[in-house]
Amino acid sequence: MSPLAPVLITGCSSGMGRQTALALHRRGHPVLATARRPGDLAGLAAEGITTMALDVTDDASMAAAVARVEHDHGAVGILINNAAYGLHLPVETAGPREIRAQFETNVFGPVRLIQHVLPAMRAARTGRIVNISSMGGRFSPPGGGFYHSTKHALEAISDSLRLEVAPFGVKVVVVQPGPTLTDFAGTAVDTMHGPAAGDPYAGFRTALADMYANRTFTRRNGAVSAETAARTIVRAATTPRPRARYAIGAVARTVMTARRLLPDAAFDAVMRRGFPLPAAG
């Protein structure tokens, strides 16, 4: 793959997406950085990066972004599916609309964008698809069933896709960040809306929100910076012979190793020690 392969990145308004766009731009790649609100991309535009509105729940906006790269460069050389958010609610209380919205953003959007870029990648006989998953693609704690299930799904799709497109010269890579110092925690807490009267999970929601807001996503507890995460994403996107997966941070590596090695009962015990649980009665 050319070191100047054109790049399309989603979710560039802040955090890992923003830092990855900057890093690839500084390496000389033509970058199209996208986000739902184009005003959030003003800082990247000031750096000389091409920006554009893209909503991963809007097929027309995805098609338009891909068409722009293909018009300018022939094909998307590197697609980085980064846009996502985390719905964190008990399974019993999450509404159907909330669940569908979670899957629309975290699964169906990335899949549709992949479908848009693949014809030109196949014709060029080269390309790279980098799907930003999470350490949550390998386990699921209390309160995270729907967010983590989207990352499980993205990893399963990536595994199939990696084999399907390899004969066409296209490589597929999964990146699995652990806790990062980004806006993710705040967005996750925002989804833990106030419980209704008599909600048996009220105390659980409050404790989970406190954990995410004040402890999990801190340097003290092993969270890494967006710049550190971006370095791994850039490596996954540009190294000539990428691995299938790249974990980011000691927390991600430790927890995913534990999930792989421990029996379910033992790993459940780890989750019970690390996360709040509802109080029966």
Catalytic pick among 13, 134, 149, 158 = 13
pLDDT grade, residue 217 (50/70/90)? Answer: confident
Give the C-alpha separation, 139 to 148, whole Å. Answer: 7
Q: Are 34 and 50 in contact (CB under 8 A)?
A: no
Mean pLDDT over each residue of the chain, to the nearest integer: 94
Residue 1 confidence class, pLDDT cut points 50, 70, 90: very low
Beta-carbon neighbour count of residue 252 at 10 Å? 24
- As a whole number of angstroms, the distance between CA 210 and CA 170 comes to 42
pLDDT of residue 63: 98
**DSSP code string of 208-254:** HHHHIIIIITSGGGT-EEHHHHHHHHHHHHH-SS--SEEEESHHHHH
pLDDT, tens digit (0-9, with 9 covering 90-100), for 175-212: 999 999 877 777 777 777 666 668 899 899 889 988 88
- Please name the residue that has the structure tokens 């990146």: 175
- What pLDDT is attached to residue 21? 98
Domain ranges of the chain: 7-274
Cα(42)–Cα(105) distance, rounded to whole angstroms?
23
* pLDDT in the model for residue 134: 96
Residue 2, pLDDT > 60, answer: no
Tell me the one-letter amino acid at 207. A
* Position 45 pLDDT exceeds 60: yes
Q: Do 140 and 152 touch, CB atoms closer than 8 A?
A: yes
Residue 85 among the catalytic residues: no
Identify the residue with better confidence: 210 or 2: 210
Residue 276, amino acid: P
Write down the pLDDT at residue 218.
Answer: 82
The answer to whether 13 is a known catalytic residue is: yes
Rounded CA gap, 169 and 149, in Å? 29
* Fold of domain 7-274: Rossmann fold (3.40.50)
Q: Which of the pair, 7 or 181, is modelled with greater confidence? A: 7
- Whole-model pTM: value is 0.94
Residue 111 pLDDT more than 50? yes
Q: Residues 85, 134, 147, 171: which is the catalytic one? A: 147
Place of tokens 């967010």: 147
Check whether 22 has a pLDDT greater than 60.
yes
Catalytic residue among 85, 134, 149, 151: 151
Please tell me the distance from the alpha carbon of residue 76 to that of residue 117, in angstroms, as a whole number. Answer: 6
Contact present, 78 and 237 (Cβ < 8 Å): yes
Portion of the chain with pLDDT greater than 70, in percent:
97
The confidence score (pLDDT) of residue 70 equals 98
- Beta strand 245-248 with 31-35 is unpaired
Q: What is the pLDDT of residue 227?
A: 96
* 59-73 and 109-124 helices, crossing angle to 10°: 20
Q: Which of 187, 170, 184 is nearest to 134 (CA)?
A: 184
Split at pLDDT 50, 70, 90, the class of 135 is: very high
User: Does 171 qualify as catalytic in the annotation?
Assistant: no
Residues near 210 by beta carbon (within 8 Å), at least 6 away in sequence: none
Q: Which member of 85, 133, 158, 201 is catalytic?
A: 133
Does position 77 have pLDDT exceeding 90, yes or no?
Answer: yes
* pLDDT given at position 197: 67
Query: Catalytic site residue 133?
Result: yes
